[in-house]
């Protein structure tokens, strides 16, 4: 992709749903696998339906195989009754893809009448432990953080898709909340994802997630995603050799 050139993300729609008032979860991984673990757990725990496949020339040339069926490397799952939409991917988009992926998510939210976007992030700190903070794009989203008793970050930096979502959400007056899990270097992605899912369960009254098996299953999801990413890297490296 040339500098300054927009990436075209093709949306293959499989099913129409009334998603007005729904919450969107950003499941594109960034600095860790936490987003993917959260998204995968929600898709399976809530038995969400795949409504769209996402593809682009800049995406890895791979097909994800689930239940013997090929799926695009990025997808959208949803459930009308739960008022939940999940964007999910097993690969981390290149930095130059961040704006296009974020804007696709924002446009989807506006077109479908979704109420907000949640885009979890992690930050590694020197201290041990795990604590959740939050950032909101609008006064309404910041008020919600106060009501949930989630401390807001005062000074920090949010990069990538989440950063674009916050800035564009402010411009479009669209509620974007970025839960930021600050964790020690020895805290696993799975444990961090489990805490984020607990917060999502509190934030969305239309869903009820069984949290008892969450930590055990999150560890398994993390191992599975790491395996998939290793497999995905091989065809991508082979493709780069001939591009």
Give bridge partners of residue 23 from the DSSP assignment: 84, 116
Q: Which two tokens stand for residue 77?
A: 């799952």
**Residue 181 in contact with residue 23, Cβ under 8 Å?**
no
- pLDDT given for residue 212 in this prediction: 72
Q: Where are the beta strands (DSSP E) in the chain?
A: 10-13, 23-27, 49-55, 64-66, 69-71, 74-79, 84-89, 116-118, 121-124, 130-136, 151-152, 175-183
Nearest 5°: the CA angle 93, 223, 70 is: 60
Give me the tens of pLDDT residue by residue for the chain, a chain 243 residues long: 444 456 789 999 999 999 999 999 999 988 788 888 899 889 988 999 999 999 999 998 888 888 898 999 999 999 999 999 999 998 888 889 999 999 999 999 999 999 999 999 998 888 777 899 999 999 999 999 999 999 999 988 999 999 999 999 999 999 999 999 988 887 888 888 888 998 999 999 999 887 777 676 666 766 766 676 666 665 555 444 333
Q: For residue 77, how far is the Cα from the chain centroid?
A: 12
Give CA–CA dist 181/101, Å, rounded: 22
Give CA–CA dist 144/133, Å, rounded: 13
H/E stretch holding 166 reads helix 160-172
Nearest 5°: the CA angle 26, 174, 139 is: 110
**Residue 112 in contact with residue 83, Cβ under 8 Å?**
no
- pLDDT given for residue 3 in this prediction: 47
Give CA–CA dist 202/170, Å, rounded: 24
Backbone angles phi, psi at 124, to 5 degrees: -85, 130
- pLDDT given for residue 241 in this prediction: 36
- pLDDT given for residue 83 in this prediction: 96
Give domain limits for the chain: 15-211
On whether the 15-211 domain is CATH 3.20.20.370, my answer is no
- pLDDT given for residue 6 in this prediction: 62
């Amino acid at each position: 992709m040339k500098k300054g050139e927009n990436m075209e993300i093709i949306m293959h729609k499989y099913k129409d749903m009334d998603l007005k008032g729904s919450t969107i979860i950003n499941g594109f991984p960034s600095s860790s696998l936490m987003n993917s673990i959260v998204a995968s757990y929600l898709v399976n725990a809530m038995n969400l339906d795949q409504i769209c496949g996402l593809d682009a020339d800049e995406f890895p040339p791979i097909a994800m195989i689930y239940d013997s069926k090929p799926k695009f490397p990025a997808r959208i799952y949803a459930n009308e009754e739960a008022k939940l939409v999940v964007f999910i991917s097993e690969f981390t988009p290149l930095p130059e893809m961040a704006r296009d992926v974020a804007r696709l998510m924002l446009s989807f939210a506006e077109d479908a009448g979704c109420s907000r976007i949640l885009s979890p992030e992690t930050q590694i700190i020197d201290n041990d432990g795990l604590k959740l903070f939050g950032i909101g794009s609008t006064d309404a989203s910041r008020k919600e953080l106060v009501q949930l008793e989630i401390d807001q970050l005062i000074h920090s930096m949010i990069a990538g898709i989440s950063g674009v979502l916050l800035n564009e959400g402010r411009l479009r007056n669209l509620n974007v909340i970025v839960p930021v899990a600050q964790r020690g270097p020895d805290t696993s992605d799975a444990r961090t994802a489990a805490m984020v899912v607990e917060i999502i369960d509190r934030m969305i009254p239309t869903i009820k997630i069984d949290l008892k098996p969450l930590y055990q299953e999150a560890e398994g999801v993390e191992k599975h995603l790491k395996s998939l990413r290793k497999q995905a890297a091989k065809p991508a490296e082979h493709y780069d050799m001939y591009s």
